[in-house]
Amino acid sequence: MTPFPKLLRTTTFRLALLYLGMFGASVTVILWVVWRTTAGFMEQQVADAIAADIALLRQEYQFGGLPRLIATVRDRSNDPHTNAMYLVLSPHGVPLAGNLSGWPKVMPEQEGWMHFQVAPSGGPHGQPATASAQGFVLPGGLKLLVGRDMSVLDTLRHRMVASLGWVVAVTGALGVAGGLLLSRRALARIEAINRTTRRIIDGDLADRVPRTGSGDEIDRLAANLNTMLDQIVRLMEGMRHVSESVAHDLRTPLTRLRSRLELVLIEDTDDPEVYRTALQETIGEADALLATFRALLSIAEAEAGGRAADFQPVDLAAIARTAADLYEPVAEEKGLTFTADVPDAPVPARGNPQLLSQALANLLDNAIKYTPAGGRIALRVDGAAGRLEVADSGPGIPADLRERVLERFVRLDDARATPGNGLGLALVDAVARLHGARLELGDAAPGLSIALTLPPAAEGGGPSAPASRAGG
């Protein structure tokens, strides 16, 4: 169970309190508007009725003098169904007519308005009887007070104020309860994520964040975390595989390098050509080792997305033409037929031109390396699809091995007699992933075809774009 102080510090609970405050303020404003609309209308009716009475009594006094005013006030005061209140005082303060015993002992408000208590009881449900009245002085020093019973309206006002308090209290209680409930539910799911991450920190990399399948924000967060963990595990497995492969594949050339140097030291000769040949072979072995490490660094940088910042508009047709100019003489020197089907119009894409050129160079280099003399190599660019394709008539790759050859240091048995380090296609795969491209290995019947399809230039690409491989 989540401790209550910890629950109060959660963002969800704070958002619930914020919503509660906004909702409570909205309810308060709505009730206040209802009250002002209702009570204001009733008060205006009372004020209009008092004003009409005052105007009538002024006329009675003007045309009939004091006797007529007193008679009119007495008639109105004796009506058992009236809620009107009247009082006429002489200049010396003696009541002359009306249903009030004396002038209210309250300070008059603006324009002579007074709100006062008539009796401690007599209102609805035994509440005090109250009244609102307007007093003024007539010619001759007479005082006239005209008012209305306000007991019902005052009782309504008190009840609405009490109801408003109850509504605000109940709203607050429900809001706090709802906030606690929502916070505990959200916090429980977050705690599940925390427990999973702690187990992963302790070394259980196979554990994953549980999902509810609701598709809400926390569920999507769990899905992203699980995807991230899968990627981390994949990278760690790749790192372990690379470390093992580096240790295995570099042991032979390093041993051969050491043996060659050792033989030169042991051999007793004064012939400088022997030393020169040994040094040249040693430099060749060192260059091969450096090329392997350069390829590994390029793959690591591409997989980490380090070159995504260098993305810019590129022309795939121009990259293909440059590669064709470089590799056509190499293919012809080996006795291969090289054809390039590249459109004259630009083929726009977005990416890192150096990595794309290196990937295409690796594909052409592999095709020339593994295609026997008399074979053919074709470079094609599909401008509509943004597709680079290299096809050869070599031995090809079996369908069940096309996924495996994209891994580092993987070389098929037929290729082990050919110079190389098994990193060419791994680099192409890393470049494809970086650009969000699709890498496809297929059958050229005979031979192998490898196609790299980039997303449209408007979409760009990047390290976060998913890469897919069809057939390899």
Same domain, 448 and 403: yes
Mean pLDDT by 10 residues, the chain (472 residues): 59 72 79 78 84 87 87 86 86 87 83 81 72 84 87 79 79 75 73 85 83 81 87 78 66 78 76 80 80 69 61 91 93 93 92 88 90 93 91 87 76 55 78 88 89 75 39 33
User: What range does the domain containing 430 cover?
Assistant: 308-470
Q: Are residues 465 and 347 in the same domain?
A: yes
> Does residue 216 sit within a domain?
no
CATH code for position 63: 3.30.450
Does the residue 395 lie in any domain? Answer: yes
Query: Residue 467 has what pLDDT?
Result: 37
Cα gap 27→167, rounded to integer Å: 8
H/E segment holding residue 113: strand 113-122
Q: What is the pLDDT of residue 265?
A: 78
Q: Are residues 72 and 107 in the same domain?
A: yes
- CA torsion, ordered 241, 246, 248, 252, to nearest 10 deg: 160
Residue 103 forms part of a structural domain: yes
Torsion sign (Cα): 230, 232, 238, 240: negative
Cβ–Cβ < 8 Å for 77, 53: no
Residue 27 lies in a domain: yes
CA 90 centroid distance within chain = 80
Whether residues 268 and 359 fall in one domain: no
CB atoms within 10 A of CB 469: 16
Quote the pLDDT of residue 305.
59
Same domain (yes/no): 294, 345? no
Q: Are residues 297 and 315 in the same domain?
A: no
Residue finishing a domain among 160, 193, 216:
160
> Final residue of a domain: which of 137, 160, 183?
160
286 with 353, same domain: the answer is no
Q: Do 296 and 410 reside in the same domain of the chain? A: no
**Domain membership flag for residue 174:** no
| Residue 394 within a domain | yes
What pLDDT, on the 0 to 100 scale, is given for residue 465?
Answer: 40
Residue 464 has what pLDDT? 40
Do 298 and 314 lie in a common domain? no
Asked if 329 and 277 sit in the same domain, the reply is: no
For the chain, report the end-to-end CA distance as a whole number of angstroms: 50
Residue 234 lies in a domain: no
Whole-number Å distance between alpha carbons of 451 and 389: 4
pLDDT at residue 91, as a whole number: 86
Taking CA 453 as the corner, what is the angle to CA 447 and CA 456, rounded to the nearest 5 degrees? Answer: 165
144 in the same domain as 36:
yes
Q: Which residues contact 431 (CB under 8 A, 6 or more apart)?
A: 302, 352, 355, 356, 358, 359, 437, 452
In sequence order, the 6+-apart residues with CB closer than 8 A to the CB of 92 are none
Q: What is the pLDDT of residue 136?
A: 81
Using the 3D structure, point to which of 139, 160, 181 is the last residue of a domain.
Answer: 160
CATH number at residue 385: 3.30.565.10
Q: How many domains does the chain have?
A: 3
Compute the distance between CA of residue 96 and CA of residue 92 in angstroms, rounded to an integer: 11
- If asked whether residues 439 and 317 sit together in one domain, one would say yes
- Cβ–Cβ contacts within 10 Å for residue 338, how many? 19
